[in-house]
């Protein structure tokens, strides 16, 4: 479904940066995705299973670092690593200071952090809506905010460098 698109995105991203682009080992089994609400998970969807069965985390990816499932769950910890502390601080700042940030618009159990730049404002949330198979992808970067129907649509927009792609399905 999306494995070939993931490979193309990795190749494209690697061609655009001189920074290391490390990826973690694939998750062996995936059934659930952590949300921002402590202890609350969403069922893993077909596209997300495919993504996490390919690799866990990805540093210097699109919109910062793609988080592993473990890193998403670490956002709940009281004494996490300095990296996770930085991410938690940014999420808090976004939710308190950006009125249109998904973290301030939705309950925590409807939001998962997909990617975040630990040194900037770029980030991507997965938004879990009722009766929709795949979560929406909401991205925030220097171009503003964009909503994508799902992971595949987000990846295809990245490959085509099409900033208007998010409008095509609404």
* Residues 1-17 pLDDT 10s: 899 999 999 999 999 88
Give the pLDDT of residue 10: 95
Taking each helix axis as running N to C, give the angle between helix 46-54 and helix 3-16, from 0 to 180 degrees, rounded to the nearest 10.
Answer: 50
Look up residue 153 and give its two tokens.
């649509």
Q: At 118, is the pLDDT very low, low, confident or very high (cuts 50, 70, 90)? A: confident
Q: CA-to-CA distance for 103 and 114, rounded, in angstroms?
A: 12
Give the pLDDT of residue 151: 97
Share of the chain above pLDDT 70, in %: 95
Q: CA-to-CA distance for 27 and 137, rounded, in angstroms?
A: 21
> Taking residues 113-134, what's their average pLDDT?
95
Please give the order of strands across the beta sheet that includes 111-116: 58-61, 64-66, 111-116, 123-127, 136-141, 144-148
Give the pLDDT of residue 120: 85
């Amino acid at each position: 479904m999306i494995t070939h698109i993931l490979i193309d995105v990795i190749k494209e991203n690697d061609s655009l940066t001189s920074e290391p682009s490390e990826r973690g080992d694939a998750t062996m089994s995936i059934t659930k995705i952590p949300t921002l609400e402590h202890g609350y998970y969403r069922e893993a969807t077909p596209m997300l299973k495919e993504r996490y069965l390919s690799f866990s985390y990805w540093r210097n990816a699109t919109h910062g670092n793609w988080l592993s499932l473990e890193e998403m769950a670490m956002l709940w910890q009281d004494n996490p690593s300095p990296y996770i502390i930085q991410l938690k601080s940014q999420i808090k700042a976004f939710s308190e200071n950006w009125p249109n940030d998904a973290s301030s618009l939705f309950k925590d159990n409807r939001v998962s952090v997909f990617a975040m730049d630990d040194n900037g404002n770029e980030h991507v949330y997965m938004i879990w809506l009722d009766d929709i198979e795949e979560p929406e992808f909401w991205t925030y970067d220097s171009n503003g905010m964009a909503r994508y129907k799902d992971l595949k649509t987000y990846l295809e927009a990245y490959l085509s460098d099409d900033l208007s792609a998010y409008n095509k399905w609404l």
